[in-house]
Structure 1
Amino acid sequence: MANHGVLLALLLLLPLHCFSFSEENPTDRRILVLVDDLAIRSSHSIFFKSLETRGFDLDFKLSDDPKLTLQRYGHYLYDGLVLFSPSTQRFGGSVDMAAILDFVDAGHDLILAADSSASDLVRGIATECGVDFDEDPEAVVIDHTSYAVSETEGDHTLIASDSFINSNVILGDKKIEAPVLFQGIGHSLNSANSLVLKVLSASPSAYSANPKAKLSSPPSLTGSAISLVSVVQARNNARILISGSLALFSNRFLRSGVLKVGSSVKYEKSGNEQFVTEISKWVFHERGHLKAVNVKHNKAGEKSEPAIYRINDDLEYSLEIYEWSGTSWKPYIADDVQVQFYMMSPYVLKTLSNDQKGLYSTSFKVPDVYGVFQFKVEYQRLGYTSLSLAKQIPVRPFRHNEYERFIPAAFPYYGASFSTMAGFFIFTIVYLYNK
């Protein structure tokens, strides 16, 4: 009977291991999509189809499903979470704000889309991620000079924005030519959180207010300080996307043409599809995901890794860095990877040279200080997962039989000693035999 119980537990855990995050294949993952209404599955089908085409397994559930859970038997069932349920007041099952934040703390990715109906629960999750939506629940982003002209002319809440972050790793190498359509609520970034970045900003003429009411006081959010879409890369390399517009991902916005007020250029298609595709590639680690392998150090001229170094030894240090391209690992090429030889503070700081094939290396002399040192590589670059590598190694002084018998620098002292002895001998002879 006990054997049957063990077998049952293993069978239940097997799917969890199959869907767990793999460092060797970061994009072979399962994503939970929570929606207020299953109609979103068809109204946003282009975005979902792009994810499925790229190999993701999407599991759609209503946000109030009483059977909702993110983990079972201590293992997470999903590697990514998409919250397209802005008006949800309470999630079903065992999912709540704490469960979602624990999900991110465990290294998993999150996409959160809100709109003017955003609940306190959704706003609270965004706040915990370093983003503050406008406190006025009726407020939306309004722009009288950078709105889009469409069939519903005069709707100044339909924003056409092209204020993108300048980062190829986040938005891809191909420039997004057409403006992105946005209709929803704006947010600001928490100044205490250095990990959150604006990806899409409003124009200087935009402001956040209730479009149905007259302004009685200055808006709390104005101009380029309004972020429309933001991203966060946590210290554990989990990635978060927060959008103030659920419609930004919709088929209607992805297929719509754009004529921006004040511009004579009419785009047959908005930049939304390219924008959401490229930003989702970054969020789900299809781009900008680094790994370091084959970290080695050895004495110059040797191949084996020693257990201890001696002061003034010549040593060599190397590692290989690769970037995930979405389908395979490719060599990562950069000129700003550094290694520290560290004990309380860096005694040596060297920039690693690379062979354009992913191999980074350098050589240096061990400092004339003995103790317990560390080889440390702390690599952080905008849009890329951070690398934090440390390897401890002791450094010893010369043994008593390893010092030179006669140190050249001490020759003056040797000369002084012998001249003193010679002088004393001469003085003795003169003193004893001089009448």
Structure 2
Amino acid sequence: MAKLIFVVLLTLIPILCTSFSPEKPSDRRILVLLDDFAVKSSHSLFFKSLQSRGFDLEFKLADDPKIALQRYGQYLYDALVLFCPTIERFGGSIDAAAVLDFVDSGHDLIVGADNNASDLIREIATECGVDFDEDSAAMVVDHSGYAVSSTEGDHTLIASDDFIKSDVILGSKKIEAPVLFQGIGHSLNPSNSLVLKVLSASPTAFSANPKSKLTSPPSLIGSSISLVSVIQARNNARILISGSLSMFSNRFFRSDVQKAGSPTKHDKSGNEQFFTELSKWVLHERGHLKAVNVQHHKVGETNEPSIYRINDDLEYSVEIYEWSGTTWEPYVADDVQIQFYMMSPYVLKTLSNDSKGRYFTSFKVPDVYGVFQFKIEYERLGYTSLSLSKQIPVRPFRHNEYERFIPAAYPYYGAAFSMMAGFFVFSAVHLYNK
């Protein structure tokens, strides 16, 4: 008996430790991995912006042997920030595969790199559809779009204002000042349709080693160079990859900026507004949709049937809301469509909305019986995708539900009766004719 109790206690210990551990993850917990704890103070404005919005940040060195992303099969964090561009190997149980599994499980990732980016950081970026310049000494150089400063230098300090045109990703308030960038450029994998350029280089930019003379054409040139990119995976996990860790720094946040060739000098760069708004999108504070209260029924009824009959008139409705960072607000759009689907869409209709989040439509069931689906596949730039599907069988008319005389069959009725009449006349003539 004592041995049995001992075995039960050993079984319960992991559960009890998980339940009462002070490191139990909250709903908004972020792990920040650093090369040096000095980054915590030099980039404090960015971190304070996250903390002010309710996120709990946990700072650790990237090579800390005790770091872990999950315990007992449960992830401890909702997002991961990698501000450790030079790290060659993570500590603890984390490696490149663990980071990618973290994203595959639906969690978010922010990566800040620079021209000293290690092979480990490059590998993570490549798996996400972003390819950094292969030359480890290369930086983005722009002799026309550089930031004017007291020391002209080698024009690697760039003032860029080529933003993605999306209010849901960068917010509705326009970023007036250019964004300061100094680091390594990257290109997007053409086979990956999920990655987007958020901040692009100007047509006069190129990627090369600023300390050496060009002997061959640069591998990255012009607007094909991406400075900051984002990815929304098919599981709605979001990733931010920047080629400059300095972009997040207090110095760049507070610095004045004047783009070469522009007479306007801004007292403050657009970096703080840019990354504040962009981080809201990456961490699902904006552009996150949910669909609830899916209903369908026959016209004039309220209960959902278990089966429809061909040619029935039905009504379909669904409620869609968007997360604003604090509450769920009605999502209003005119491009949400419903498919009545069996192998291919038999009905495709755009849903109407009442501006309060409710979308609805009505249509007639096709004159085809089988197992159909109500299907919504909604994908819009910057928003999480919605995929709703519900099966419903459709039956034909029963034998006693058909009309007795179908107007379309009148020619056949006439043919049958005329044949009968002709046979009667033929028989009479044949019988009584001598």
Q: TM-score range by the shorter chain?
A: over 0.9
What letter corresponds to residue 13 of structure 1 in structure 2? T
Q: Aligned partners of 2:7, 2:372: CA distance in 1, in Å? A: 50
Cα deviation, residue 293, structure 1: 0.5
Task: Please state how far the C-alpha of 1:70 moved relative to its aligned partner.
Answer: 0.4
Instruction: Give the deviation of 1:434 after TM superposition.
Output: 4.0
Secondary structure of 1:430's counterpart equals helix
SS at match of 1:258: coil
Partner of 2:82: 83
Offset at 1:325? 0.3
| Contact in 1 for aligned 2:64/2:92 (Cα 8 Å) | yes
1:60 deviates by 0.3
Q: Is the 8 A contact 1:16 1:77 kept in 2?
A: no
d(CA) in 1 for partners of 2:223, 2:298: 54
Paired position in structure 1 for 2:3 = none
For 1:252 and 1:385, locate their aligned partners in 2 and report how far apart those are by CA, in whole Å. 33
**Cα pair 1:177 1:271 within 8 Å, conserved:** yes
Q: Name the structure 1 match of 2:194.
A: 195
Select 1:19's aligned residue among 21, 25, 33. 25
Q: Which residue of 2 aligns with 1:33?
A: 32
The residue aligned with 2:294 is 295
Deviation at 1:378, TM superposition (A): 0.4
Aligned to 1:261, the other structure's residue is in SS state coil
Contact 2:24 2:76 in 1 (8 A): no
Distance 2:113 2:23 in 1: 32
Structure 1 outlier segments of 4+, above 4 Å: 15-18
Give TM-score, length-normalised by structure 2.
Answer: 0.96
**Equivalent position amino acid for 2:92 in 1:** G
1:23: which partner in 2?
none
Contact 2:30 2:79 in 1 (8 A): yes
Deviations 1:369-427 (A, max 9, x none): 11111111000000000001111111111111111111121122112212221222233
Cα offsets for 1:218-243 (capped at 9, x unmatched): 10001111000000000000000000
Q: CA separation of 1:269/1:431 partners in 2, compared to 1, >3 Å: closer, same or farther?
A: same
Pairwise mapping of residues 6-155 of structure 1 onto structure 2 (< 5 A)? 7-14=12-19, 19=25, 28-155=27-154
Counterparts of 1:332 and 1:2, CA distance in 2? 53
Instruction: Tell me which residue corresponds to 1:240.
Output: 239
Amino acid of the structure 1 residue aligned with 2:195: V
Structure 1 position 67, deviation (Å)? 0.6
CA-based RMSD: 1.4
Alpha-carbon distance, 1:2 to partner = 4.6
Does structure 1 retain, via aligned residues, the 8 Å contact 2:375–2:389?
A: yes
Relative to the length of structure 1, the TM-score reads 0.96
Q: Deviation digits for residues 260-297 of structure 1, max 9, x if unmatched? A: 11110000000000000000000000000000011111
> 3-state DSSP class of the match of 1:347?
strand
Instruction: Please give the secondary structure, in 1, of the residue aligned with 2:258.
Output: strand
Distance 1:16 1:383, change over 3 A: farther
Q: After TM superposition, give the deviation of residue 6 of structure 1 in Å.
A: 5.0
Runs of 5+ consecutive residues of structure 2 not aligned to the other structure: 1-5
In structure 2, the partner of 1:354 is 353
Deviation at 1:299, TM superposition (A): 1.3
* 3-state SS of paired residue (2:177): coil
Unaligned runs of 5+ in 1: 21-27
* 1:19 CA drift (Å): 3.1
Q: How many residues align?
A: 428
Map of 1:172-211 to 2, 5 A cutoff? 172-211=171-210
The one-letter code of the counterpart of 1:110 is: L
Match of 1:275 in 2: 274
Tell me how far apart the structure 2 counterparts of residues 209 and 117 of structure 1 sit (CA, whole Å): 14
| Cα shift at 1:150 | 2.4
The structural deviation recorded for 1:217 is 0.4
Percent of paired sites with the same residue: 76
Q: Would you say the 8 A contact 2:255–2:268 is kept in 1?
A: yes
Higher deviation after alignment, 236-245 or 2-11: 2-11
Write the distance in 1 (CA, Å) between the matches of 2:204 and 2:107: 36
Deviations 1:98-124 (A, max 9, x none): 000000000000000101111010011
